[in-house]
Structure 1
């Protein structure tokens, strides 16, 4: 599942991998800003993905899914950490990744957004 998450995150326009903390975790960025952090818990080999989220939606997701928790070592108002344990479908994860990417992409300057958009033409 980690490979699928990584491939999907890095397939987003202008997405790039970064390893600011060493070989783990993988930080996925757009325009130099993080939109996903993918890690594996060394104790139980469980994959986690942290994603930016609208604060109201973040609370909703946490209430609906035990696998969605406040962002681990991140701003808990704007970030969720999802334990990838099979309780959420691939489509649910895809939508959460898309939402995170879109929030970060929209926060970039107009020039940065246009530069990324020009890359894919």
Structure 2
């Protein structure tokens, strides 16, 4: 996988947890129990797609700009986008997309819950 920095980058964000959803073979990154990013693994446990959430118009725009960004793999095709892990999406753009996904999911919580989430630390 081209984006070897992704796990460390995501785990540095406040209150992020990760797990392996064995039934899907996905490494999921979550905040407050809600997924905001995932590394989808193939049958050989190699990264197959990186999936994240974006505002629908931005996701559509990026899919038109990069052939390595497709509608969400096994996700809602409007809100979720998948990136080929060995594709041509620049690292800075992927970091920006991951940041936006994190913020978008966090914004879905009430203000009180956002404060609770952000006040807990990663273990």
* TM-score tier after normalising by the smaller chain length: 0.7 to 0.9
Structure 2 gap segments, 5+ residues each: none
2:71 is the alignment partner of 1:61 = no
Runs of 4+ in 1 over 4 A off after TM superposition: none
CA distance in 1 between counterparts of 2:106 and 2:16 reads 10
How far the C-alpha of 1:6 sits from its partner, in A, is 1.4
Q: Deviations over 1:89-114 (max 9, x none)?
A: 21111001001001001101222211
Q: How does 1:9-48 map to 2 (within 5 A)?
A: 9-22=10-23, 24-42=25-43, 45-48=46-49
Structure 1 gap segments, 5+ residues each: none
Give the TM-score normalised by the residue count of structure 2. 0.86
2:77 is the alignment partner of 1:73 = no
Q: Deviations over 1:44-74 (max 9, x none)?
A: x454210001000010000000000000110
Contact 1:28 1:36 in 2 (8 A): yes
CA distance in 1 between counterparts of 2:62 and 2:24 reads 29
Count of residue pairs brought into register by the alignment: 120
Q: Provide the residue aligned with 1:52 in structure 2.
A: 53
Decide whether aligned partners of structure 1 residues 23 and 61 sit closer, same or farther in structure 2, where only a CA change above 3 A counts. closer
Give the TM-score normalised by the residue count of structure 1. 0.87
The CA RMSD over aligned residues, in Å, is 2.2
How far the C-alpha of 1:35 sits from its partner, in A, is 0.1
